[in-house]
């Protein structure tokens, strides 16, 4: 097996090299610093390096092994440039954290196909491109950890989130299949499934351009039937995110996945995610649909 023949397998004394996408904010920001604090040489990548001041200030204070690299996950060239740069500097990549992502919001009927494709370019196809770039390197090394930030929304459907949810379901299917292909070469692929996490995620959420959020006329035939649910869902976001778990909790779990000898296929993060998946096991689809609606529309989940 290639894995056994490799003469550059990772020695336990060698410093590990990580590449993280979307490090300018939230989960990517915290995870980059956390890995670096734990001695991993971390390339904190971002599409816009002018957003790097805060992470560099944090890393500088503790003299952490962290470097900024430009990487736009929707730009194939910037992905291969980032990977080539790391290889030219460090000659290996042990860890990749696919984190960059955002949510497109709106009823499917009012979303444009191009908007849904854009969502998939970032949350799904970009991840594929990066994985395809690093797999030959990791196979040669006989070692690699590929961590993918999915979501509770990678396990359950949510109203007005069909584009986001389907991009994360696609990611789940990709990882579940890829695991079998690469495990013989010492490469472990895992999914991280956070519930609600307090980050810039809601500010960065995109509302579909054709989504109607209010009805202004008395002519019923021109009114959107989705306005009420959109308004309820949007007004429930803020209180839900204020109660969310911290990005640091996700970073802890990423570190667990990269340091474990036998990383799990999936890691749920946050009380809300754990509770929801526990309920999913013990309810019918119909019962579960009521729980989902109560939860995302901000109603009492026990009602």
Catalytic residues, by residue number, are 164
Q: Kindly give, in sequence order, each residue whose CB lies less than 8 Å from that of residue 116, ignoring residues fewer than 6 positions away.
A: 104, 163
Residue 204 found at the interface with ligand NAP (CB under 6 A): yes
Contact stretch for ligand NAP (CB under 6 A) within 11-19, 42-50, 61-69, 279-287: 42-50
Judged by beta carbon, residue 137 or residue 192, the one nearer ligand NAP is 192
Residue 32 found at the interface with ligand NAP (CB under 6 A): no
Residue 127 found at the interface with ligand NAP (CB under 6 A): no
Cβ atoms 66, 37 nearer than 8 A = no
Q: Please report, as residue ranges, which positions from 81 to 110 form the binding site for ligand NAP (by CB under 6 A).
A: 99-102
Distances (CA, A) of 4 to 138, 140, 181, 184: 13, 10, 16, 9
Residue 186 found at the interface with ligand NAP (CB under 6 A): no
Q: Could you tell me the sign of the dihedral formed by the alpha carbons of 74, 80, 85, 90, in that order?
A: positive
Cβ atoms 105, 148 nearer than 8 A = no
Write down the least CB distance from residue 270 to ligand NAP, Å: 8
Phi/psi for 182 (5° steps) reads -110, -15
Residue 148 found at the interface with ligand NAP (CB under 6 A): no
Site string for ligand NAP, 209-248 (x = CB under 6 A): -----------------------------------x----
Number of residues that bind ligand NAP (CB under 6 A): 29
DSSP secondary structure letters along 180-213: HHHGGGTEEEEEEEE-SB-SSHHHH-EE-TT---
Residue 206 found at the interface with ligand NAP (CB under 6 A): no
Residue 267 found at the interface with ligand NAP (CB under 6 A): no
Question: Do β-strands 206-207 and 104-105 pair in parallel, antiparallel, or remain unpaired?
Answer: parallel
Judged by beta carbon, residue 241 or residue 288, the one nearer ligand NAP is 241
Residue 151 found at the interface with ligand NAP (CB under 6 A): yes
Q: Could you tell me the sign of the dihedral formed by the alpha carbons of 68, 70, 72, 76, in that order?
A: negative
- Listed as own residue / partner, the contacts of 174-183 with beta carbons closer than 8 Å and 24 or more positions apart are 174/124, 174/127, 174/128, 175/148, 175/150, 175/265, 176/265, 178/131, 178/146, 179/265, 182/135, 182/138, 182/139, 182/144
Residue 201 found at the interface with ligand NAP (CB under 6 A): yes
* Number of residue whose CB is nearest ligand NAP: 26
For tokens 């290889």, what's the residue? 87
Facing residues of 215 across strands? none
Among 199, 226, 251, 268, binds ligand NAP (CB under 6 A): 199
Residue 129 found at the interface with ligand NAP (CB under 6 A): no
Residue 197 found at the interface with ligand NAP (CB under 6 A): yes
Write down the least CB distance from residue 49 to ligand NAP, Å: 10
Sites of contact with ligand NAP (CB under 6 A): 21-22, 24-28, 46-48, 51, 72-74, 99-102, 122, 149, 151, 194, 196-197, 199-201, 204, 244
């Amino acid at each position: 097996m290639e894995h056994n023949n490799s003469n550059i397998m990772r020695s336990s004394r060698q410093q590990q090299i990580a590449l993280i996408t979307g490090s300018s904010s939230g989960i990517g920001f915290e995870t980059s610093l956390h890995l670096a604090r734990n001695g991993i040489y971390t390339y904190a990548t971002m599409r816009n390096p002018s957003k790097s001041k805060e992470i560099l200030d944090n890393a500088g204070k503790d003299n952490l092994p962290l470097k900024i690299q430009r990487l736009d996950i929707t730009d194939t060239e910037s992905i291969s440039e980032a990977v080539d740069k790391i290889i030219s500097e460090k000659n290996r990549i042990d860890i990749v954290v696919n984190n960059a992502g955002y949510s497109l919001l709106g009823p499917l009927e009012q979303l444009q196909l191009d908007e849904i494709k854009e969502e998939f370019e970032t949350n799904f196809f970009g991840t594929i491109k990066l994985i395809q770039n690093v797999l030959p390197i990791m196979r040669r090394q006989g070692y690699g950890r590929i961590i993918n930030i999915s979501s509770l929304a990678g396990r359950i459907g949510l109203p007005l989130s069909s584009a986001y949810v389907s991009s994360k379901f696609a990611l789940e299917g990709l990882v579940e299949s890829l695991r079998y292909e690469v495990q013989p070469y010492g490469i472990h692929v895992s999914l991280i499934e956070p519930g609600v996490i307090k980050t810039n995620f809601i500010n960065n959420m995109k509302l579909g351009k054709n989504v109607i959020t209010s009805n202004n006329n008395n002519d019923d035939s021109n009114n959107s039937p989705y306005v009420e649910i959109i308004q309820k869902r949007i007004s429930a976001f803020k209180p839900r995110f204020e109660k969310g778990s911290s990005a640091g909790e996700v970073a802890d779990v990423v570190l667990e996945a990269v340091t474990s000898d036998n990383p799990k296929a999936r890691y749920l993060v946050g009380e809300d995610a754990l509770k929801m998946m526990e309920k999913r096991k013990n309810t019918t689809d119909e019962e579960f649909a009521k729980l989902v609606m109560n939860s995302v529309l901000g109603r009492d989940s026990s009602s």
